[in-house]
Structure 1
Amino acid sequence: MKARILLTCLAAVLTLLVAAPANAGTTRTPAERAREIATALAKDPLYLDPAYQTAVPANLRADVKKKAGALGYPVYTMVLPLTPSDEFQGQEQNVLTLVMDALKRPGLYVVVDGGSRFPWYEARNVSQVTEEKLAASRTRALEDTGYDAGPTEVLARMYELLAQPGIPKTSKRSGSASPVLDPENNGGIVVASIVGGLVVLVGLGLVIGRMRGSGSRKTFRIPPHVAATVAAERRRRLTRETTAELTTLGSQLAALPATSGAGLVHQHQQAALDGHAAASKVLDAAPDLVDLVGAMVLLDKARREYDAAVAVAADRKVDAVPDLCAFNPLHGRSSGKPTKVESDGTTLTLPLCNECRQALKRNSAPASLPGKDGPYWHDDSLWARTFFGTTGDDLAGAVSRGELSR
């Protein structure tokens, strides 16, 4: 009951927040929108709605098109933001029917909601593939990629399976993209989060309603235009708070007396200065959300080093402060002992918040910070390679060496 009331209130608040853009709508008819997509597909067999043009990098697009092109028959792929208020009433089948009628070409037509990961398809005059193989390839692709995969990853895997001989069997894995928790590690009490209200925004943007069942029934999910509003506000808020902390910590560091040598005060003070400089460098580079979080993590490390320098100078004990959650630093501090996480034969020991730890215990994907196509750790970035510095000692040094752009 409480959950139902919460969702009702949430929906009402979000409706008020985005009433203007939602009501502005579009005057295009379903047939006109379908013809627009068909015209684009005639030039490029992968259609990405403008809402996703900057979100999906070129290598992921190329992977989908390469694997679709290897099938030997035409494949038309569409990634759209589907909502009940759009021209297709949020229904994949409406998209397929109208676009097929508009394009009037034989081939396999596939559509996926960009906020989901469930491809819908229909084949027209394609004798090279059966319904049985299509259904099995779709199911296996969803299993192989895992719940936290982005739509292009699922599509690429589905096309890869379609190219193989025979009918794909059900995977025995529960999703290779999802790490496995070492059962010997137990959780602890969550340390107070440093991000306050950001947790609510992240919950809205990353968790609620991402997953839909493979049938026609849809569960509650935030429409793309609402999610975009939430994401924009999240980024503005994080930018504002991180910039404020950069200024505050910079002033405090400037007020410290100069030190030199190999003493602890100097070591902590220098580490704080290095972290502050690295965070400033990241912020100056017009960062995306993941980079902003990276700047926040650098400042958090610098703040802890500053506090340690002050404590040592005053002959006080240095407080032990846990790292931020490796899967999503916006979750706040890690809890308990670092957790052993295994994936594809590699074992990492990561600091995790209680929420992520419990998700892994349930063999579920944690609510990760999103990257370009799925969890941020799927990206080829400094943040992904080091899990925001939790697998290495010198994140600030790596930034100063230019490893951020590699």
Structure 2
Amino acid sequence: MIKKFLKRVFRKPARTKTVGNAQVIPFGLHGVAREQISYGAQKVTDGLQAAGYQAYVVGGAVRDLLLDRIPKDFDVATDATPEEVRRVFRRSRIIGRRFRLVHVMFGEEVVEVSTFRSMIEAEDAETDEHGRLLRDNQFGDQEQDAARRDFTANALFYDPSTQEIHDFHRGYDDTRNQLLRMIGDPATRYREDPVRMLRAVRLSAKLGMKLEPATAAPIGKLKGLLDNVPEARLLDEVLKMLLSGHSVECIQHLRKMHLHHGLLPLLDVILEQPVGEKFVMLALRNTDERLSQEKPVSPAFLFAALLWHEVLTAWQSYQKQGERPIPAMHAAMDDVLAKQRAQLAIPHRHDAVMKEIWLLQLRFEQRAGQRPFRLLEQPRFRAAYDFLLLRCASGEVDQELGLWWDEFQEASTERRAEMLQPEGAGEKKRRRRKPRKKPAAAATEEPSA
């Protein structure tokens, strides 16, 4: 016992060692224990290593654990090909076309396994006229795989069997110093994939990390490259921002770096309007709060909120041209969605939900007769009601309207009857009168020939 105690007290401090071009950081320095890795990721790395392959937990999971955050998922990188990974794990499937990955299933957990990729030499790279890589699917080794990753903080390899971190680009130090640094020349890397500019903003906002000056410098000049990114990829990155749990910080960072123009009409126009900006920020804060409480969030609701003031402006314009409210709303919705789809490929499956939420806003003003009861029966009532509360909180409509509907939902039958407004809300009720019958004397007139 005394011998063990003395050994602990006088043991040498843990130090990094160098293996090839990698720094190997021991557990005694970084403190990330094997038990912090998910069950599935442990089984995948153990299984691949037992079969004679290299296997590491990589990317955001390692970064988040060093920042004392809980990773959303755990990815694994290996020198095994997809077919070899598939042979090791029975419950797995190969996915992807441009670059194949393997999904290994352990109950509800899915571990994504990628084969080490290499950097493509400049003379061999297939790019468009702006420098964007069109092909990046060549297998490589661990060091090459680290070099092709975007930021140093995302290029860390954790080995659960030894509890060591392999670091080729000083990403461990950058992570500890809360610094987000691009691997390689930032301008070249942004040209290869312009979405990296948005990722830099998102990760900086989400993780509270400072963008290294050289990494931030080219963004202002190269932001126009985002126009050449396929809409589906742009949508994917925008959704990651909006559903990151830090959407408010992301939007603020986008504005600071002038990256918001062209992504969403609301970011071009609405954030310049006091009421519109307040509404959008309330919607984003509400989304962030729900995510922090692990409540579900609907992308369709979020897009409906983000595009609402564009719809509202178009709706008012159509009414000024003489259109009636409901046809004007339909025209406005179609215009805004068509304009947005040209910039960001919002899936058509969200259209119906967004339109229902928008159309139901017109019906909240109708508080007479059977209309409020019919509105309560609508499948999207709750989402539309939450949307109404955002409008009330932003000052777009009177708070009284939200309070009325809040009470009406829970009120007794007697109280609801008392709350109903008179038909026509005080205006003279107009009824179509039936034509009077001609007097009997008229029947004596002789019919025309």
Q: Normalising by the residue count of structure 2, what TM-score does the alignment of the two structures yield? A: 0.29
Larger radius of gyration: 2
Larger RCO, structure (CA 8 Å, separation 6 or more): 1
Higher helix residue share: 2
